[in-house]
Structure 1
Amino acid sequence: MKAEQHVDQLMREQLVELLRGGFAPNVILLREFHYDRAGVMLPGLHFSGWILLGHLHARLATLLQFMKNPTGDVDVWPDAHWPENHQPATDQEWNTAIDAFEQDQEEMIRLVQNPAVDLFQVHPNGKTLSWAAMTTLHHTGYHIGQLKTVGRQLGVW
């Protein structure tokens, strides 16, 4: 294997690991978060677990859309979506939302894993697919950290 191919493969593997959450896998943490606590807003915070999940998924979906169609007219950093309602109506709604987040996360991972996808080509908006993947992992990690903190305060972990 050529050095360039090795570096490319290594970069893709590391991005995949971090997109999934590294040592604290995103989807596992979401599934561990109790549905009955997903709507609780702690004093001083403007979000619940449900709101965080909706926000995370909206940003992931936007960045995934850019990765699927990088030359399209995609605003990769639109105003942040924060769901209006602070709790899911049912445990099924909570689990369906986690499933949808996981499906989009895995779709992004498949793009990152595909060696035919050029992660470093600069697109008309000045961004690369690697930028979108790294932005996703950074944004998700930030808010998963908030979810973990809220969950600890609520006795989830």
Structure 2
Amino acid sequence: MDQTQRKKLVNELISLIEKGNAHVSFKESVADLPSGLRTVIPENLPYSIWQLVEHIRIAQKDIVDFSASADSESLAWPDDYWVEPTDSISDEDWNHSLKQIEEDQQRFHALLTDENNDLFSPLPWGTGQSLLREAMLIADHNAYHTAEIVVARRLLKSWK
């Protein structure tokens, strides 16, 4: 793959992670959410929007840490990936979580754009995972849970 093709692929992956392309982006899914609805668990759903946001943050950080270093620590599924329900969440905690999601995406984008990193070769410390696979994993995982956020907002009557 020449550098032009690589750059095109990287740009498509970054766009998929950030913008969603064919679906609502994560940023759109949480925009203008009333603070009082962050921790409400809609009827017949297992999680609040806060729990979904935190799950996206935790899982994405785990993927980025793993992709960046052999020294990343493994999390225990499912306990380390989900937070317990809570009655409220502060603006500070909410904004910190959203900021970390964005910062971890930027860290991952740096891995993708670094031409010294092969997108296709397995990471030496993994079990066959490549940066391309991890990029698709982030995009797929975040899209799945972003859709759940939209559904929760619809059930809470707080969607467009």
Q: TM-score band (shorter)? A: 0.7 to 0.9
Does 1:144 find its partner at 2:146? yes
User: What is the identity, as a one-letter code, of the residue corresponding to 1:64?
Assistant: V
Task: List 4+ stretches of structure 1 deviating above 6 A.
Answer: none
Residue 104 of structure 1: aligned partner: 104
Equivalent in the alignment of 1:95: 95
Q: % of aligned pairs identical?
A: 22
Give the superposed CA RMSD.
1.9
Give, in whole Å, the separation in 1 of the partners of 2:72 and 2:100: 24
In structure 2, the gaps of 5 or more residues are: none
Q: TM-score, normalised by structure 1?
A: 0.86
Instruction: Indicate the residue corresponding to 2:85 in structure 1.
Output: 85
Q: Deviations along 1:49-93, whole A, 9 cap, x unmatched?
A: 000011111110110011111x44654x85131101345431222
- Report the TM-score when normalising by structure 2: 0.85
Per the alignment, do residues 78 and 14 of structure 1 end up closer, same or farther by CA in structure 2, a change over 3 Å counting? farther
Contiguous gaps of at least 5 residues in structure 1:
none
- SS of 1:32's partner is coil
Matches within 5 A, 1:6-85: 6-23=4-21, 24-69=24-69, 71-72=70-71, 75=74, 78-80=76-78, 81-85=81-85
Name whichever of 131-140 and 147-156 sits farther off. Answer: 147-156
How many Å apart are 1:119 and its aligned residue?
1.4
Distance in 1 (CA, whole Å) between partners of 2:87 and 2:64 is: 25
Shift of 1:155: 2.1
